[in-house]
Every structure is written in structure tokens, then in C-alpha cells.
Structure 1
């Protein structure tokens, strides 16, 4: 991540600091995937120019030239610089920032590293230690395929190989197939990622359309800037990124895309709760910070067919659009069948189950499956609810505030923080329509105002108040079933 702009900003300021601080540049030519860009290529050339013996000698040279009692710091650093000046080295880059550079050294030589850390701990100024490592070293399969093993599920070790049981189809896999198909029908489609072609499902796209694929490294802001420029020239860029990492690029989304009204599509993977990846990776804020941007459309497909419809909508549109989907199994079957009816156009959602009681479960995205399960369970209690597939977090379908105005209770479900999310948008629409005093009301279900610890995704959703049992209990506690209330057969 040395190519990330904030790192260079920090280094630029570090040269002015008058205190001990050690920066370790762990150089293995990898981030999550192979590191792209000019800086990476330069460091790769440096790496190839050094043998193991070179690294060993460099380590010894550093230890020999670091200050000992009575030797001035400046003299020691100058002597060390002279020993590396004639070599191919990135020292000049860091020295120009007034940061003493040491290395490169072998990052797998633990005993030597301990000596170096102890010695460098006596410096009275910031310094950078450049270490070479190999991602996956020590485990054969990971050494051979480090991208695959950056983040993997359970696997079985069989000697020098591993066996991973094929899991059910994921939203990432559904997106991967869909964007390749869209690109085959429209040569304006290009895909951009920030060091995550595999994690975002773009590996197949990269193989099929290498000239239409861009990996900017861990630099999400640059990804959005690049997309804006390509859109301005008439292309249809898809920025594919995890929800939590998209937060880094908010200023560019505002300034370069939304303000310009450019047709950039944000394909937001890991939107919602992410299970074991924990609080740093939950995608619980994207609706909140994107829906405030004028002209932005926010879509949450509930199934694979809607994923394809969302991508088709994005290609034919002339405004920015965000498509959010979770790290989860894509549940097709009954949801696909229920969602095939009607056109896929904002702001319109879809009634997937018509009820007779004045209660609407309005689900955004794949939590629709839970709403349908709750509706089945409620039938056993003699309660018939309407299940509504919202599809769009922005704009809000006007039938929802209209239902509230008609005296119905609308329960919103979303895999997002309640604060600022889809439910909040529905409440705003109700208030804007002047129906806040009507007999109807809105109950918002979503992730509460807390950081959610790592756990299984299903249990996280349950803990957030969206278990089937909780949904049933909420409806039963708030459903006034009377003959009069059953008279209106629409949403």
C-alpha cells in the first residue's frame, strides 16, 4: 500500500519530525494481488538486482555503520549512504524526503531483523527499513498461489496440496458472470478495481477483456478519478470495490462523479455485515453517505436475476449509480421467480407477496428472503402481510409513504445501519409527504448504532433484530387485524 496517497503524505511530513520512528517497508511485490504501477515496477527491478548474499551483506553493513558510543549520528548515516550509493536502490527517493533509508534486507531472517530493530531503535530521527519477504512463504500452496490464500475459507490439507470444498454460489460470483456478459454486448464497458480483482469478482473480466481492465492498486480515490475521466470520454466505467474501502473515496465520488453527473457505476461488494472479517470490513454506511448526493441512484438486488437487471440499468443510464450486494450466498429459486415480473426502473419496487392485513414488510436487498420466511410463519398465526421488494434505497418508491398515509404499518428491513439508511429514507419520504400524523407508521429494522464484532453473518443479522422470530414478534405486536383493515387489497 506504499502507493496509497496518504502514505506519501505521511512520508512527506515525516522528514520534518525530530524523533525516533521506524517505518518498515514490507516489499513482497504483493498487496492482495500483484501490486501494479510505476512504484511497484521500480521496487521489482530493485528486488531482482539483489541476491541473498547482497541482502546478508546489507544487513551487516547497516549494523556496522549505525552509531556506537561516541560516534555522531550524522557521520554514521553518511558513511552508510556511501556504501549503497553505487547500487540500484530506492534510497534516493526516501533520502529526498529527508528520511534515512536502510536496506534492502531479508525479511525472513528473524534473528538479523531483531538485531536491526534493536540497533535502529537508538536513532534519534525517523528512518525506513526496506525488507524483502515472500507472501505465503512457509506453506507451499500459499507460496504458489498467494492471491488465493490472502483470505480463504476452510480447506483440507493433503500433503503439499489443499482441497477446498466448493461452496454455494455467491453474489460475487453472480456479479462476475453478469459483468462479463454485459461487456460482451457493450464495448463501452470498462472495469476498475483497487488491488482486488479476485475479491471483487473481476478475474474473469480481466482475462476476457485485458484492455478494458484497470487495477490502480490500493488507491480507491484514484479508481474513482479514473472512472470519471473515462465516463467523460463516453465509456461506461464500473468501479468494483468493497463497501468499507469505498469510504476512502467519498470526496472523489462527490467532486468528480456526482457533481459532474457522470454515468459511473459503483459495484459495492461486501455491502452489509461480512461475518468473520469483522468491524473493519462491514459495509454498513454506503447508503448513508451515497444517498445524500444529488442524482445518485442506489440499487440493492435481491437475487441473481436482479443483479443482471441492475447492471443493464447502469449501462443504459446517464447518471451515477451504486449497486450494493453482500458477502453471502445468492438465493435464487423463489426470489428469482418472484422478482422477474415487471420492469426494473427506479424508483419502483415490487410486491412479491400480497397480503390482506395492514402490514407491509419492505425489504431492501437479499434480506427479502427473511421477509418471505417471516410471512410464511405469520400465516400460521393467521396474519397475512404484504412483502415488498424495495430494490432501490434511492429514490424511494412512493407507494411506501402512500401505504403509511393509508394507515398501514411499514416495517423496513435492511443490511445497513438504521441511522441514515433505507428506513431513514422512507421516514423522510413520509415526512415530506405530510403524512407523519397519519394512523400508519414506519418501523425501521437494521443494524443498531454499534460496532458489530466478528461472527457468522447469519448470527449477526439475527443479533441486529432481523431473525425470523424477531420479525414475527414485531409484526404480531403491531398488527391490528380488523375487517376494516382488510378492505384495501393494494400495498
Structure 2
């Protein structure tokens, strides 16, 4: 069956009897290909029938399908003629693991972060109505994403479509999981709805019976539907979605293809926004993923037989060192608390939660709330540590500035996945944290160059913080370079690693190892190069910079982040404002979004590997 799917809408050529076989082939295709490249598997296995139903009912690319987050779009890519791209899924210059408009006009909107789909869908619906066109617009959002406040802002705004008699379809893909198991009030609310299947059956029977009554059946049914005291409130507590102006249907079986098709066809006919509550099983069809969907949310290459990852490093990761240090510190200090936004496994805090459940807080996919929650804890005498991916902390920028830094509360941010992340691409690269954090008063930013520094910086922050501190560290194995020559952490102080006379490299955090290699390459060609570990990006070690200015005619800053507003820009500003007459070069990432690929490949492309840095320094010295 899959051989017949080569372009959008090809699925409509199949016979109904072949749908079940196609679903089986899609799952087999996903498991086979993701086992080779890695990727998001469990979420895609769970939406096979749902995505098939959408493609059978919708017309692509005319109709618009918006995936929240977008990691569950693999089946959509298969059904829009992109099977061949899976050989290089999430690889350099290969197919993205997320929807990309530049990749296909069937991808209505790019995504990568949570809780955005409803706002996008509502905006597209309003544009459709202003354009006087008739395309169907569908948003697919997971139950985990409903913990994000932006989703509620959109829901609150959707009542206007009901008043204007305009259609919009929302699919609530309810699998009881976001990445980790869902938490909070919305999860509890949906659990209540799931338990009330008898309501759905009774509602249908009552309406069917009423419609049979001559003359008064139809108006009576309409009156009951409109009534706030309708039968729904007897069976489903709150009926929040209906009260917000949405017609709610469900929950329905997300793996019952005929039921999904029929429900979607009916939803298309409604002149109002409708939410279809679909129950799916994450990892369906592959036992290891069904048993451990969190592991298979995003996984590297694995053995199909047992689901074990093929190449798992025995070396500790930066994340593991940070989380283990936090756990050890919490044994001695009962005021330390750990906070995550639905990422206990990814940020390494799962062990903390198991050992100290009363001091561990998973707030769901709600980074803004997590930041201000931490501010409240810190204001009341606690030491909250919020471990969060760099790309997701962006979403809490206002809260960091207004709620934490303005009050100078000692919240510690473990900024994980800082710098290039790799296969997840543009939406996940942690290359913006220096510019967006360094502009905030009262906020200290630390950048460790190896695993030892991660540990010591966190302990220093826990013991000495009088205001907010961000410690930024990269994804992957912890670096061991120069651990044997570790020097004690002092607030605001950098470290001269090597002295030279031709130029000095000032390299930030995780890119330090590449600068070290560049120094060795340049020394092999006869140059004498200095090397500095700044440790603190804010505040600058001004005394150290003054010493460098007096010693070197060429100062080179190196960072794995955006140059505009970055560390190097601040160093250059300081030096020239204080009368430096030598040359300064900032090496980093220009004003671009960085595509997906391995970190090694991306560094080579951006000339941020040892050779690229060495070439840039030689060019500078030769002019």
C-alpha cells in the first residue's frame, strides 16, 4: 500500500479495505527508519490512524493542518510524498523532523515549540474569512500542550468564530503524555472526561429520540444544546470547552479509523469551532515504545528487536553532572528545590523527584509559570533550581526579567542544551541565550568549560547566590579538558589558561575545546597564542580584560551563539570604550537560524571547529 503513496492525496485512491494494511505498513516503515536515524518515534506511532483520517477528509495543500510542537508530523510527511526523505531524517541537509514550509507546501506552518497551534489556527481562520476562501483549518494539539498558557489565550479568543458562524477544527490528541507523564489540573480534568463515556452514548441517544418527535423535536433539541443547564453538565464536570464557546465531541477512539473519518466529516459541516477529543496510545504497535513512551519520545538509533539504543556513551553528560550535583547538595541543604517544565528525564531531574518528591515540582509545559513560580519560592526563603533547555527558557524571558531579576531573587537557572543542539534544528538550537539573558540587570551568567566546572559553579551558586544566576551548558558528553588544573571559582573572575604574544583567544563555555584545538593548530605553525576561559559572561572580569588589552594587539572572542548582542559584542564595546587601540575579532554565529545536523557538521559549516577558528585567526593576523 505504501508504494502507492507518492504525492499529496494519494491515500484517497486506496480502497477502504486497505486502510488497516496501510496503517500497519506505516508503523513498520517508521520503526525501521527511525531505528537507523533516531527521531521522535512514540508520538508518531500513536497518530497513524488520526493522520490517515485527516488526509482522507482534507484536501492538501488547500486545507491547512497545524501540528502543535510538530514532532508528531512524520506520518503526515509520509502521506505527502516524502518517504524518500526518511533515509536522511534529521541529518545534515536532510529532511527535518518538524513541519517546514520550505520543505513542502503541505506543511502549513513551521513548529517546534509547544502550545502555539491554536493561536496559529485561529489566525489562519480569520485570514481565510477575510480572504473569502473556504479551506478547512485543523490544529492538532496534545493534552500535554494544553498546560501551556498560550493555548488558553487562544481558546478564550475563539468564541468570536462561534458568533460569526465560522468553522475551525481542533483535535485534542490525548495520550496522557507530553514527553513525560502529564501533570496538573488539565490532566485531571481530561481524566474525568475519559471516565464518562456513558455521557457520549446517552447524549446521542437522547438527541436521536428527541429529533423523532413531530413538530417540536428539532427546536427542542436546539434549545437543550444552547442551555447552560443541558444534560452535559449532569455527566461531565465543568464542560470547560463548551463553556468557552467550543462544540465538544468525544472522547473517541483515536485508532478507530472509520469513526475518526465520520467525526471529521461531521465537524467540517459545523459553522462554529469544534474540538474533537481523541484518545490515542503513544508508541502503539511497537511494544518497547508502548512500555516506555518517554524513552521513545526522542531516541537515537536503536535495535528494533529490543529497543535498546545502539551507541550509548559510558561517559557522563553535562546534564547528568548538573543533576547529580544538585541531588548531592540537596542532601545537605533542605531548602533546595528542583523545578522542571515537563522535562524531568531530559533535564536529569527525575532522580531528584524520586528521592525528594516534596521538593520536586514538574509544572507541565509552562515555562513562564515555572520561572515566576521559582521567584515566589525564592522570595519566601527557598533555593529553587529551574533546569530548562535554552530554547524553552526563551519563552519565559519576560518572567526572568520582570519577576526574578527585578526583585533580585536567587533563582538558579540550569540552562541545558545551550549552544548547538543538532538534529532538532532551528527551533531547538540554544544559540540565543547570551543575548537575551545578558541584557537583564542583576542576572549573573556562568559558562563552564568542562564537567568539573559545571559541578563547582552549581555548588557556588547554591551556597553564595544573592540574586539570579544562569549556568549554561551544552548537550552531550561532559568535556574533561583541563579538569586536572581546576582553580577555585571566584565571583566574576576569569582564568588565563595559556599565555602568548601574537593573539589571545577568549572562548566561552562549550566552544572552549574547539578554541583549544585552534590554539594547538596555530602553535604548530609557529604562532604564540594565548587562551582564556572567561567563566563569567556577566559580569565581565574587567580586570582580566584590562590585562589582555595591555598585553595583546589582537583579541579574539569565540562563542557558540549569535554574535549580535553576544559575549564578544560586549567585550568589544568595553575594550574600545576604554581606549583599546588593538584589533578585536568576534567569532560566532551570524544573524541566521541554524539548520539541523550533527554538532560536528554544524561547527564545520559555521567555521566554529578548531580549523575554522584557526583559519579566522590567521586571516586576522595576516592583515
Fold-level similarity (TM above 0.5): yes
Moved more, 463-472 or 90-99: 90-99
Q: Is the 8 A contact 2:147 2:186 kept in 1?
A: yes
> Matched residues in 2 for 1:385 and 1:242: separation?
34
Residue by residue over 1:50-70, the C-alpha shift from the partner in whole angstroms, topping out at 9 and shown as x without a partner, is 48xx87x589779979x9xxx
- Structure 2 residue 473 is matched with structure 1 residue 329: no
Task: Choose which of 468, 471, 480 in structure 1 pairs with 2:610.
Answer: 468
> Matched residues in 1 for 2:246 and 2:560: separation?
45
Residue by residue over 1:255-298, the C-alpha shift from the partner in whole angstroms, topping out at 9 and shown as x without a partner, is 11100010001111111111001111111111111111111110
Q: Secondary structure at the match of 2:316?
A: coil
> Matched residues in 1 for 2:328 and 2:221: separation?
63
Deviation at residue 75 of structure 1 after TM alignment = 5.1
Q: Secondary structure at the match of 1:157?
A: coil
For 1:10-409, what aligned pairs fall within 5 Å after superposition? 10-17=154-161, 18=164, 19-50=166-197, 57=201, 78=224, 85=232, 88-89=235-236, 92-158=239-305, 161-167=307-313, 168-315=315-462, 316-332=464-480, 334-338=481-485, 340-341=486-487, 343-355=488-500, 357-398=501-542, 399-409=544-554
In the alignment, which residue of structure 2 is the partner of 1:414?
559
Q: Is the 8 A contact 1:220 1:246 kept in 2?
A: yes
Q: Is the 8 A contact 1:59 1:103 kept in 2?
A: no
In the alignment, which residue of structure 2 is the partner of 1:425?
570
Aligned pair in 2 of structure 1 residues 58, 419: CA closer, same or farther (>3 Å)?
A: farther
> Matched residues in 2 for 1:278 and 1:63: separation?
49
Q: Is the 8 A contact 1:157 1:163 kept in 2?
A: no
Residue by residue over 1:313-345, the C-alpha shift from the partner in whole angstroms, topping out at 9 and shown as x without a partner, is 21121110101111122111x32124x12x312
Q: Is the 8 A contact 2:556 2:586 kept in 1?
A: yes
> Matched residues in 1 for 2:303 and 2:322: separation?
27
Q: Is the 8 A contact 1:29 1:40 kept in 2?
A: yes
Deviation at residue 42 of structure 1 after TM alignment = 2.1
In the alignment, which residue of structure 1 is the partner of 2:124?
none
Aligned pair in 2 of structure 1 residues 58, 141: CA closer, same or farther (>3 Å)?
A: farther
Deviation at residue 180 of structure 1 after TM alignment = 0.9
Q: Is the 8 A contact 1:362 1:410 kept in 2?
A: yes
Q: Please, what TM-score do these two structures have when normalized by structure 1? A: 0.89
Moved more, 357-366 or 423-432: 423-432
Aligned pair in 2 of structure 1 residues 118, 72: CA closer, same or farther (>3 Å)?
A: farther
Q: Please, what TM-score do these two structures have when normalized by structure 2? A: 0.70
> Matched residues in 2 for 1:155 and 1:255: separation?
44
Aligned pair in 2 of structure 1 residues 197, 382: CA closer, same or farther (>3 Å)?
A: same
Aligned pair in 2 of structure 1 residues 74, 135: CA closer, same or farther (>3 Å)?
A: farther
Q: Secondary structure at the match of 1:428?
A: helix
Q: Is the 8 A contact 2:318 2:477 kept in 1?
A: yes
In the alignment, which residue of structure 2 is the partner of 1:484?
none
Q: Secondary structure at the match of 1:388?
A: strand
In the alignment, which residue of structure 2 is the partner of 1:446?
588
> Matched residues in 1 for 2:307 and 2:432: separation?
39
Deviation at residue 443 of structure 1 after TM alignment = 0.8
Q: Which has the higher helix share?
A: 2
Deviation at residue 166 of structure 1 after TM alignment = 2.3
Aligned pair in 2 of structure 1 residues 62, 134: CA closer, same or farther (>3 Å)?
A: farther
Q: Is the 8 A contact 1:298 1:394 kept in 2?
A: yes
Q: Is the 8 A contact 2:503 2:552 kept in 1?
A: no
Moved more, 311-320 or 396-405: 396-405
* Count of aligned positions: 466
> Matched residues in 1 for 2:223 and 2:267: separation?
11
Q: Is the 8 A contact 1:347 1:394 kept in 2?
A: yes
> Matched residues in 1 for 2:512 and 2:193: separation?
53
